[in-house]
Amino acid sequence: MAHIGTAKSTGTKIHSVSGDCERPGIYEYPYGTSIRRMLEDCGARDTQAVQVGGPSGVCISAFEFGRRIAFEDVPTAGAFMVFDRSRDMFEVAHNFAQFFAHESCGFCTPCRVGTTLVVKGMDKLAAGRGSRHDIDVLFELNTLMHAATHCGLGASACNPLRDTIVKFRPAYERHLKSLHFEPGFDLDAELSIARRMTGRDDPAAHLENAR
């Protein structure tokens, strides 16, 4: 086995290939195989991203498909999830966030509360009520959870979030109501009572950004 693979990663690795490809299944490759080669073999087309190593692994974007599976480059536990361009990478990360909140054992503060805060933050973005500030808060949570959790689950719970914010930021910004302010609530809707009381509904009675 020692002559197969790379200098630091000898032998082969079994991968569970799933997602947007023609031939999902179990594949065995020597360490050092490129992600592009694996995508070609499983019949993946128009691929946007691959989640390597499962939810707590790394999200690899198209310009990185030349990277290789090995301890010295992209390590993996075996999961290889393919996402084509029809997928919204924000929704992918949103889904992973729910997975981690569900999996958290609840023992330590940063994971128990942090995974829930991440879900709530992403729910807010998904509902179209988020702002750039919310993305910054998610990033701060990622930093804290990496340093403060009791075990690796909490530490890696924000990995898909971190990778997708860095590599697929437009997918997040599409969900933002505004890039410039922080809409904790709908200000124009709050004015509806005042409009009703004054019997007005003309354009001047609405905020300029509303409607």
Partner 1 sequence: MTVTSDGPSGGPTLFSLDGEDVEFRPGETILQAAHRTGRYIPHLCWHPEFRPHGSCRLCIVKIDGRAGAACTVQAAPGQEVESNSEQMNASRKTLLQMLFVEGNHFCPSCEKSGNCLLQATAYEMGMEGPHFEEFYPDRPVDASHPDILLDFNRCILCELCVRASRDVDGKNVFAIGGNGIGTHLLVNSESGKLVDTDMALSDRSASICPVGVILPKRRGFVIPIGERRYDVKSVAEPDNQEAS
Q: Which is nearer to partner 1, 120 or 196 (CB)?
A: 120
* Residue reference for tokens 């993946």: 44
Q: Does 105 bind partner 1 (CB under 8 A)?
A: yes
- Asked whether position 150 contacts partner 1 by CB under 8 A, the answer is yes
Structure tokens given for 119: 């879900």
Among left, alpha and beta (phi > 0; psi -120 to 50; other), residue 78 is left
Residue from 79, 101, 138, 165 that binds partner 1 (CB under 8 A)?
A: 101
Residues near 155 by Cβ (< 8 Å), separated by ≥ 6?
A: 145, 146, 147, 149
- Which has the closest alpha carbon to 50: 22, 21, 23? 21
If the CB atoms of residues 112 and 195 are measured against partner 1, the closer one turns out to be 112
Contact 50, 87 (CB under 8 A): no
Binding residue (CB under 8 A) for partner 1 from 5, 114, 130, 160? 114
Nearer to partner 1, 120 or 174 (CB): 120
In the complex, minimum distance from the CB of residue 77 to partner 1, in angstroms, rounded to a whole number: 22
Instruction: Give the nearer residue to partner 1 in terms of CB position, either 44 or 118.
Output: 118
User: Rounded to 5 degrees, what are φ and ψ at 50?
Assistant: -130, 130
CB of 19 to partner 1, least distance (A): 26
CB 103, min distance to partner 1, A:
8
Q: Are 34 and 67 in contact (CB under 8 A)?
A: yes
Site residues, partner 1 (CB under 8 A): 101-110, 112-117, 120, 137, 140, 144, 147-150
